[in-house]
Structure 1
Amino acid sequence: MNQLRRSTKFAYGIGQVAEGIKTRGFDYFAFFYFTQVLGLSGSLAGLAVAAALVFDAFTDPIAGHLSDNWKSRLGRRHPFMYAAAAPLALAWFLLFFPPSELGQTGLFLWFLGFAVLVRASMTLYHVPHMALGAELSDDYAERTSVVQYRTLSGMVGGFGVILLGLQFFFPETPAFRNGLLDPSGYPAFAFFTGLVMFVTVWYSAWGTRREIPHLPAPPENPQPFSLRATFEEFRLAWENHSFRALFVGTSAFAVSISIGTTLGTHLNVFFWGFSTGQISILFIALAIGFGVGVLLSGYLHRHFDKKPSLLVACLVSSVAGSAAVALRLMDLLPANGEALLLYIVSSLLFAMGVMAGVGYTSAGSMMADVAYDQFLRTGRNQQGILFAATALSGKLGSAGGHFLVGVGIDLIRFPLKADPAAVIPDLIVRLGVLSLVSAPFALAGVYAISRYRISRESYEASRRGVPEVG
């Protein structure tokens, strides 16, 4: 089970579109919508997202355990992928359609409740989907190709939703120079993106159905589901040194990324004063860079291996992501409104995108190698629990980032439902400083990832000594 058909990799990869929409939708639209459009306090908005993420994080190992041990004519992974499509799309739409005249408590409960439902539905799909990617091939290089398809599709979903949203659902109008402040665009945006989620999730399951007979089978005598068994599986995975390195590293880096993305819309609207058209240009630069990075990752893995590629990507993307704000705070950039400013910020985002694409592809491929390494060590196929744990690390980090941003916005006393032209300069400076809190978390993530042990040489040596998986 080495080389795969392109149609299979395409179908598998396109399933990541839904995850990209969900992630970028929460980061760039939902948080901003509930705080700056509906008026929910930053602390309550951050708490709602963080609580939903923590709930979601601890359901990931449960979903992993269930799909690792599921027996059906559709295999272990596909039943969950099919089942998640409709609940995910419906919960996503309702998230952006709260009743009018809700107060702070009502808005908080609505945001929390539907954030939990969206994330629970996504977990039901995404954990089996990630595990499926590790099972489609046991070839070291082919796994990178599978992850490239998945990562590029996630990019299309994530950045596509931003660009389509800005251009078609949040256009500039006489009443709203920045369309993101216009409440009328959000329900239509949610309906369209929810529909795309449903279609791509369903197609991913249907398009990979031919591989079901070739995938690893569940244990002959699986243990009945229990929380204790699930966390025993996690404990077993935790004994793998390389797994620990990736888990801790991605958790810390996820905090850094979450701070940057959650504050991204606030920075673009208030710190930089960009219009929706200019914000679209920024995301085009970021998306192109990300795509270049994903394609570049295969070359880097062949010539420098995966771990060095990931370490360099994490360091450079962190510097590029913070550089523009730091330079502005030192008064080393052109004033807002000058064309050169947009060019500089776009160029830095392009560089960050390249490194982010390399990083996402490298981390995903490295975790697939950990899954194989774990099989060699224990004789157990733990792809579901390992990728559930990967999702757990990212979600715990993201929860921390959202909560820090929400509390931070309230601590600096940043106004709600604010007119960008009316926000005083001192608050703009505080917003920029708040965004730089991401840097120490990125450095901690780099240190943890440096402890990862699997290389191409060690992987191939181990593989030659045992039968193939499945």
Structure 2
Amino acid sequence: MSLRLRTKIAYGSGQIAETVKSTGFDLFLFFYFTQVLGLSGALAGTAVMIALTFDAVTDPLAGRLSDNWRSPRGRRHPFMYAAALPLALAWFGLFMPPHGLDQIGLFLWLTGFAILVRGAMTLYYVPYLALGAELTTDYHERTSVASWRGISGVLGATPVILIGIPLFFPETPEFENGLLNPAGYPKVALCGAIIMGTAILICAWGTRDRIPTLPSAPDKGQRTRLRDDAAAAWSNVSFRALFIGTMLVAISIGVVQTLNVHLNVYFWRLPSSAIAFLATGALIGWIVGIVLAGPMHRRFDKKPTIIVAALTASLAGNIAVAAKLAGVFPEQGTPLFVPLILFLLFVGGAASGMAIITGGSMMADVAHQHAMRTGRNQEGFLFSATAFTGKLSVAVGYFIAGAGLDLIAFPLQSEPSQVSADAVTRLAWLNLSACVFGFISIYAYRFYCIHDSAPPAKRPDALASPLS
């Protein structure tokens, strides 16, 4: 039975919380602690890696706990409600370190609050993902659910980028780039805390009527050990393909997103207003990729879609940087400079959006197949296991980026005009190194073997919107 539109919208709104957190980490946090507060890149990367490793280890535990939880509000909703306030408070504290902290003090503050933020997010997000897999058992309806989650994620990132950057970080005579102004970051902290807490509560409240229809926790005598769950999951070829593919993609994403603001400020020499404008290319691309995911799944199925999307995303995100290093990219100020970057960001965003939606839909298929084979509904554990490898790999990506900044001797707390051309070139090569992991992930995805049983010519609504 198809889900009501109201249910899909309510569920999708929950993604806003995770997207605001991820966008804040990728766009503001690393840059704030290194270039604004002066924390060593290696220490900043290590701090985030520690937090991500802690988060990755707790993901399977949170998934298993929610799989076996019994309450009048079901298995998932109690954790979603419980996480809202702690997440908001931890996020606010993350961006409010006391003045005068030395390197060790900044490192400990970043590590401690990053762990609190990610721990609270895990308490919410793993049950949230599992809830999405349980809302429907239909092969293509899962894509619709994942698409609403993706659309809401874009809506969460849009105000952060398009409104947050120009509003909180305008250019001033004191700072060449507004992102170097420390006064904007407390505003990011407060707004992010309010948005995340509100989104979680809307999602939990809006999907509460589905609780009676969801699978319930097994009786105590039917529960299995953690290692048995892990062994059963690992024996599934399609799960292994997603697990390894996600791990490789996450390393690539971790490096690129950690260095993204550095690249925009120092390599492209963009003002904060231009960074916000160019980000619209990626955001619009995400929406297009999400909308096209369903038709692509019906026409070509999910595995070919994710392979093409992963390859395209890896290439689009690095072509402009490689072309500029080779001296064939238009110079800043020429008519093609901004439109070309905007176009490549659009293509990369479309491919990334399609890959994310496809991966989420594929994991829901794996969870359904696992339940049919084993008789156990363990969506929480399966989604958390994939999140585990993703977050652990992103931690490696953060560490590579942070240690790489120190290795190339990139200057801290410097205006763009004060950084040498050689240092900027080394920064670009450090960013390009990440695409290797994205290319290797394509080989892993080839082993995924769940597919639509209907041939392309007989698949219903082959061009239907995934949001229907």
Task: Check 1:48–1:339 CA distance in 2 against 1; reply closer, same or farther (3 A cut).
Answer: farther
**Counterpart contact for 1:259–1:405, Cα < 8 Å:** yes
Q: Who is 1:415 aligned against?
A: 411
Aligned-residue Cα RMSD (Å) equals 1.5
CA distance in 2, matches of 1:58, 1:67: 15
2:372 to 376, 383, 388: 376
Q: Who is 1:466 aligned against?
A: none
SS in 2 for 1:413: coil
Q: Partner amino acid for 1:385?
A: F
After superposition, the C-alpha distances for 1:130-175 in whole angstroms (9 at most, x for unaligned) are: 0000000001111100000001111221343122221211111221
CA distance in 1, matches of 2:154, 2:261: 18
Report deviation, 1:457: 1.5
Quick check: 1:51 aligned with 2:47?
Answer: no
1:315 to 311, 327, 348: 311
**Following superposition, which runs of at least 4 residues in structure 1 exceed 6 angstroms of deviation?**
none
Q: Who is 2:297 aligned against?
A: 301
Moved more, 165-174 or 229-238: 229-238
After superposition, the C-alpha distances for 1:282-328 in whole angstroms (9 at most, x for unaligned) are: 11110000000000101101111111110000001100001010001
**Counterpart contact for 2:176–2:416, Cα < 8 Å:** no
CA distance in 2, matches of 1:266, 1:454: 40
CA distance in 2, matches of 1:51, 1:282: 32
Q: How does 1:357-436 map to 2 (within 5 A)?
A: 357-436=353-432
Q: Partner amino acid for 2:452?
A: R
Task: Check 1:303–1:166 CA distance in 2 against 1; reply closer, same or farther (3 A cut).
Answer: same
Q: Who is 2:463 aligned against?
A: none
Quick check: 1:185 aligned with 2:184?
Answer: yes
**Counterpart contact for 2:176–2:415, Cα < 8 Å:** no
Aligned residues: 456
**Counterpart contact for 1:285–1:346, Cα < 8 Å:** yes
Report deviation, 1:458: 8.5
List gaps (5 residues or longer) in structure 1. Answer: 460-470
CA distance in 1, matches of 2:448, 2:362: 9
SS in 1 for 2:190: helix
Q: Who is 2:23 aligned against?
A: 24
Q: Partner amino acid for 1:91?
A: A
Q: How does 1:267-346 map to 2 (within 5 A)?
A: 267-346=263-342
Report deviation, 1:330: 0.2
CA distance in 2, matches of 1:48, 1:223: 40
Q: Who is 1:248 aligned against?
A: 244
Quick check: 1:13 aligned with 2:12?
Answer: yes
CA distance in 2, matches of 1:85, 1:339: 46
**Counterpart contact for 1:24–1:159, Cα < 8 Å:** no
Task: Check 1:168–1:238 CA distance in 2 against 1; reply closer, same or farther (3 A cut).
Answer: same
Report deviation, 1:222: 5.6
Report deviation, 1:252: 0.3
Q: Partner amino acid for 2:54?
A: F
Report deviation, 1:117: 0.2
Q: Who is 1:468 aligned against?
A: none
Q: Partner amino acid for 1:300?
A: M
List gaps (5 residues or longer) in structure 2. Answer: 456-468
Task: Check 1:217–1:30 CA distance in 2 against 1; reply closer, same or farther (3 A cut).
Answer: same
Q: Percent identity?
A: 53
SS in 1 for 2:404: helix
Q: Who is 2:230 aligned against?
A: 234
CA distance in 2, matches of 1:195, 1:88: 10
Q: Partner amino acid for 2:306?
A: L
TM-score by length of 1: 0.95
After superposition, the C-alpha distances for 1:431-459 in whole angstroms (9 at most, x for unaligned) are: 00000111110011111111111111199
Q: Partner amino acid for 1:82?
A: Y
Q: Partner amino acid for 1:39?
A: G
Q: Who is 1:171 aligned against?
A: 170
TM-score by length of 2: 0.95
Q: Partner amino acid for 1:357?
A: G
Report deviation, 1:336: 3.0
